[in-house]
Structure 1
Amino acid sequence: MDKVVLSLGMGVDSVGVLTRFLLEPETRDFKLDDLIVMTAMTGDEFTETAEHMERFILPLMRKFSVRYVQLSRGGPLASSRYAVLDDSRQPKRMHMVGPWRLRDEQLGNGTVPQFAHGKRICSVKSKADPLEWWKEDHLAGLTYQHILGFSAEEGHRILKDSTYTSASRRARFPLAEWGWTRADTLGYLHEVFGTTWPRSCCVYCPFAASDAEHLADRWRREPKGAVLALLMERRAMALNPRATLFSRTSAVQFAIDHRLYRVLALAEEALRRETWALYDVRRIYHAAVDKKTGRRIPTKKGTAWRSVKTLSEGSRQQMIAELHRRARAHGTEAQADGFAIMRAQLCTPDPERFPTNERFLSVGPAGVHDKERRSFHSLWTRLADQTSLFMA
């Protein structure tokens, strides 16, 4: 009999599938001995997710002796692979944090979670990769059925995942087979457990703002997580003024709009305790590439390369003073933006011709790693020389 792998994201859909499989055996075509339930941890879920899992789902798993593998990514590099946090048919607790958290990536790079080319990059790195690596190590050469919790409304996700099916993997989408929408699954879980199942996501998930009132309530109940989101955004915006957590607003403005005054006060208190840094931020904006001809389009912006270097560390006041000193040395002035982030623009990019370059100094919480790709310096120098020649 083939193995069956159920990806348990701890949210409504996958929990609904597992619960019905266990309580209504006629809905499945396999023995529970062949089932492997797997979760990859980001390390930054809301605490109520773990609480619901431990109160309602783990007892069911123990009752039916379901194998539950809890993983996390082993480190930032692919060579770190994954860490097994627990592998048991009698799981006693949730292991929500591994040796690497998604926050390590975001805070160290001075970014917020990204969505590009139809992929949630953060989810791929923290969840999809370690799950795939584990399956490569433990299911190599075996065929298996892969159970995914895509609801009946998610035809586009089902169609997309179907393109990944291989000779060893056969995907199955029970909720779609049953015709269950998200509302149907929520209702089922409420009927079984007597509770409204919470959405599974990181405390700083950029997509959570789609249900603003729900997110505001969660941040109000778990202010520590909300503070992490605000601090992550603050660090990212020091390096990129457009790096708000949400696409339509910033995390800090979201907190203001929803009167999360305790969260704002705690975030400001945390910022006062931080070590601060003066950053030298440079960017090269390449010309876009015509997909048909492969040629550069000099009037259209393409990808951007970023270089970050920490110039100094100290208190917030010390770094602001240092920023003013360096700005004067470059013949310019430091200014605060609408988020009270101090910045001195040293080189302004040309918005109409590419490639072009940008450079500014800014003050923000310390901790962002110095980072620059190998060919950045030579290209930067060439662009700077061209600009100087043009200005002359």
Structure 2
Amino acid sequence: MPRTSACPQLPLFGAAPCDADIDTVISWGLGCDSTAYVARMLTNPAAHGINLERTVVLYMATGSEWPETRLLVEKFMLPLLRKHRVRFVQLARNGHLRADGFTVLDDSRHPDQLFARGPWTLWDDLESVGTVPQQAGTRKCSLWAKGDVGDWWLGQLFNGRPFRQIMGFNADEEGRRFGDQVASKMPGRTGEFPLIDWGWDRQQCEAYLMERFGVLWPKSYCTFCCFPASMGALPAHLERMRTHPDLAGEVLRLEYTAMSLNPNAKLYGRKSLLGLLDPAQPRDRACLDAFERELDMPWALYRVRRLFLLSDEGRRRPVMRSTERIDLGRPHQLARRLVSISQRHGVEVEHDPAYGRARAWTRPRGTAWPMAEDLFTTAPARVIDKQDTGFEREWNALLSGSAAQLSLT
């Protein structure tokens, strides 16, 4: 039975009697690298310095793992964990905020299923605000969906007590070991990186799992991940999409919604998933057909405003945004309304006849900061009303009442 916890306290249940004996946590992301480590370690735990009675294998459910990864885990790895009576803990977030806490989906030495998702997923978070993961900077989405949840649970379990956390970075990821050592701030934690110490790169991990289980173990990542493009794996990623056209349709809807609110919100930097699919190719056409089915839902007319402001020192501040749902309806109805009103006010409208979006800027984005943007757009009605703190004050201060207005009455 899943158990829920707020952070940083654990009000609904106390620590299990054996928790005080735990001194080792293995972070398992389900992918090739960490799976190779767990499988190899279980051939002789003592030889790898592991006491299974004092060890937990920890997994965070993001909610959007590929189906084949889940199937392989349940076919090959869960039986191994059961055979060796490995304590396997599965966690997930409860909501967007830290205060929402997390849920222990399962905590067992006899796990019989891999939980695909919990109460709140990264997909839920992205879709509710109309955005997609960003390639720039750190992997914030991974930190949000995995790192934060694991750290909350570890903080409760150890509470400053010394422990080691084994990470499945392969030998090509020495930089990630350095980054982990620099970023780690949990008292008592020591990170260990056995695959790097063994010199096992991705190919060696794949070869080991092929020899062990007779399968090519896939990379673990979310269906809507933006990083395949930056890692040179975009062709393989697109093939994976074509194998799962229904999943591709969902991801296309996520991207299309985000790009409706922000044309720059392409999944792969300068490339969009929609732009990479060729409707003349049958397998791509299947993905696009699934996308059209995904769009057959209620739509909304949104007003989206953005502020691009400078700090007192002249540095660019994080962009502020206000999103407001104006109306609900079918896409063609909302598009006609926006076109009609915009034409009366002499405002140009973009219309996508293929998939239904209509969009009009009453204040286009400029090129020089500080600046403001104000647009109306139609999109699938999955985005909530949300406004950054202090937005109206900053908006009024910058524009001093000069913003162009588009009356929707």
TM beyond 0.5: yes
Cα separation, partners in 2 of 1:266 and 1:375, compared to 1, 3 Å = same
> C-alpha distance in 1, partners of 2:292/2:66?
21
1:363 Cα offset (Å): 1.1
Task: Please list, as runs of the form range in 1=range in 2, the aligned pairs for 1:1-392 lying within 5 A after superposition.
Answer: 3-25=23-45, 27-116=47-136, 118-163=137-182, 164=184, 167-209=187-229, 210-256=232-278, 259-271=283-295, 273-287=296-310, 295-296=313-314, 302-336=317-351, 341-352=357-368, 354-385=369-400
Cα separation, partners in 2 of 1:73 and 1:10, compared to 1, 3 Å = same
> C-alpha distance in 1, partners of 2:97/2:318?
23
> C-alpha distance in 2, partners of 1:375/1:132?
31
TM-score, normalised to structure 2, is 0.87
CA contact (8 A) 1:46 1:222 kept: no
TM-score, normalised to structure 1, is 0.91
> C-alpha distance in 1, partners of 2:389/2:55?
46
> C-alpha distance in 2, partners of 1:279/1:254?
27
1:102 Cα offset (Å): 1.2
Deviation digits for residues 338-359 of structure 1 (CA, Å, limit 9, x no counterpart): 986321110123313x211111
The amino acid of 1:268's aligned partner reads E
> C-alpha distance in 2, partners of 1:339/1:201?
30
1:249 Cα offset (Å): 1.0
CA contact (8 A) 1:204 1:225 kept: no
> C-alpha distance in 2, partners of 1:309/1:323?
15
> C-alpha distance in 1, partners of 2:266/2:47?
44
Cα separation, partners in 2 of 1:167 and 1:347, compared to 1, 3 Å = closer
Gaps of 5+ in 2: 1-20, 404-409
CA contact (8 A) 2:22 2:55 kept: no
2:5 aligned partner: none
1:207 Cα offset (Å): 1.2
> C-alpha distance in 2, partners of 1:374/1:95?
35
The amino acid of 1:195's aligned partner reads V
> C-alpha distance in 1, partners of 2:160/2:64?
34
Cα separation, partners in 2 of 1:156 and 1:252, compared to 1, 3 Å = same
Partner-residue secondary structure (3-state), 1:233: helix
Percentage identity across aligned positions? 35
The amino acid of 1:296's aligned partner reads G
1:165 Cα offset (Å): 6.0
Give the superposed CA RMSD.
2.1
> C-alpha distance in 2, partners of 1:254/1:338?
19
Which structure shows the higher strand fraction?
1
Gaps of 5+ in 1: none
CA contact (8 A) 2:127 2:254 kept: yes
Partner-residue secondary structure (3-state), 2:400: helix
CA contact (8 A) 2:155 2:186 kept: no
The amino acid of 1:147's aligned partner reads I
Cα separation, partners in 2 of 1:367 and 1:315, compared to 1, 3 Å = same
CA contact (8 A) 1:278 1:310 kept: yes
Partner-residue secondary structure (3-state), 2:387: coil
Deviation digits for residues 277-322 of structure 1 (CA, Å, limit 9, x no counterpart): 11111111113x5xxxx6115xxx5431111111111011110011
The amino acid of 1:112's aligned partner reads V
CA contact (8 A) 1:20 1:27 kept: no
CA contact (8 A) 1:308 1:369 kept: yes
The amino acid of 1:149's aligned partner reads G
> C-alpha distance in 1, partners of 2:76/2:125?
32
1:337 Cα offset (Å): 6.1
1:386 Cα offset (Å): 7.2
CA contact (8 A) 1:107 1:232 kept: yes
> C-alpha distance in 1, partners of 2:246/2:44?
39
1:97 Cα offset (Å): 1.4
Deviation digits for residues 170-196 of structure 1 (CA, Å, limit 9, x no counterpart): 110000110111111111111111100
Deviation digits for residues 204-224 of structure 1 (CA, Å, limit 9, x no counterpart): 111134312321222122222
1:27 Cα offset (Å): 4.2
Partner-residue secondary structure (3-state), 1:256: coil
> C-alpha distance in 1, partners of 2:150/2:278?
38
The amino acid of 2:320's aligned partner reads W
Partner-residue secondary structure (3-state), 1:203: coil
> C-alpha distance in 1, partners of 2:23/2:354?
53
